[in-house]
């Protein structure tokens, strides 16, 4: 079985070493970096299976690094778990907006951290549609990873693309947040349902005039419809 490589980007050596020891004890291979430069060197040498990324770092912040790695084709699908002392809702949303898949607020228990790492490593791949699906003027091509509305290209992040892909292939059905987490993200046990709301908001913004096709069903979840 493949040993999971975990890149730990943390400038507090005591925390980094504690995480490293626990990762090793649980059959994972940690790679330590104290800043973005060292982290990028590791990534250039060997692509990690998951990145634990501290928010507050010398030089580039964790948010800046997350945005950079999400924009890089080589790392855009690598799971990023943000480590942060910032527990406020706007800060959590900022972390998700920057491209983090999940976040964990310090101080955290070792068991919680390991559980969240295992969760992102276990995530099933979303439904990989290679066909073209159309709803009204909205079109998604799974093979080329392109989305357009009325023949105008739309740029989506990887998570928003997966979310739209699933919604369009299951149009007119109402999906709860937990169902979307399960189908789009995979194992949703350690991911907050608020994550879905953040990505739906980003999806709607990216879709522009077509954003209203993603409907909120109050008290239930979301639905993709052909009505604008």
Most confident of 34-43, 127-136, 143-152: 34-43
- Give pLDDT tens digits for 45-62: 888 999 999 988 998 889
Q: Give the chain's mean pLDDT.
A: 86
2 or 140, which is more confident?
140
pLDDT recorded at residue 118? 84
With 0-12 / 13-18 / 19 or more C-beta atoms within 10 angstroms meaning exposed / middle / buried, residue 7 is buried
In the predicted model, is pLDDT for residue 86 greater than 80?
Answer: no
**What is the rounded distance in angstroms from the CA atom of residue 9 to the CA atom of residue 59?**
12
- Give pLDDT tens digits for 171-202: 999 999 988 887 787 654 466 778 889 999 99
Name residue, tokens 């093979």: 143
Q: pLDDT band for 87, please (50, 70, 90 cuts).
A: low
Best CA proximity match to 8, nearest among 34, 46, 27 = 34
pLDDT recorded at residue 89? 66
Q: Which long-range contacts (CB under 8 A, 24 or more apart) does 143-151 make?
A: 149/207, 149/208, 149/209, 149/210
3-class DSSP state of 159: helix
Q: pLDDT band for 126, please (50, 70, 90 cuts).
A: very low
140 or 119, which is more confident?
140
In the predicted model, is pLDDT for residue 96 greater than 80?
Answer: no
C-alpha to C-alpha distances, 78 to 19, 37, 47, 123, 170, nearest whole angstrom: 19, 18, 8, 12, 26
Averaged pLDDT, 29-35: 95
pLDDT recorded at residue 88? 66
**What is the rounded distance in angstroms from the CA atom of residue 168 to the CA atom of residue 151?**
17
């Amino acid at each position: 079985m493949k040993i999971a490589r975990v890149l730990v980007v943390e400038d507090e050596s005591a925390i980094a070493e504690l995480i490293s020891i626990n990762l090793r004890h649980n059959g994972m291979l940690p790679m330590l970096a104290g800043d973005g430069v060292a982290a990028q060197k590791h990534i250039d040498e060997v692509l990690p299976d998951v990145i634990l990324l501290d928010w507050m770092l010398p030089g580039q912040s964790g948010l800046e690094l997350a945005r950079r790695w999400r924009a890089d084709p080589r790392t855009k699908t690598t799971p990023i778990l943000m480590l942060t002392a910032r527990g406020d809702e706007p800060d959590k949303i900022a972390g998700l907006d920057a491209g983090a898949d999940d976040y964990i607020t310090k101080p955290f228990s070792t068991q919680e951290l390991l559980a969240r790492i295992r969760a992102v490593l276990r995530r099933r791949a979303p439904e990989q549609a290679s066909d073209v699906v159309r709803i009204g003027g909205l079109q998604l091509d799974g093979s080329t990873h392109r989305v357009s509305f009325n023949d105008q290209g739309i740029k989506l992040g990887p998570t928003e693309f997966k979310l739209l892909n699933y919604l369009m292939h299951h149009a007119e059905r109402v999906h709860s947040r937990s169902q979307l987490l399960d189908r789009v993200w995979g194992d949703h046990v350690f991911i907050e349902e608020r994550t879905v709301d953040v990505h739906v908001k980003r999806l709607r913004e990216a879709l522009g005039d077509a954003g209203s096709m993603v409907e909120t069903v109050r008290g239930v979840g979301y639905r993709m419809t052909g009505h604008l």
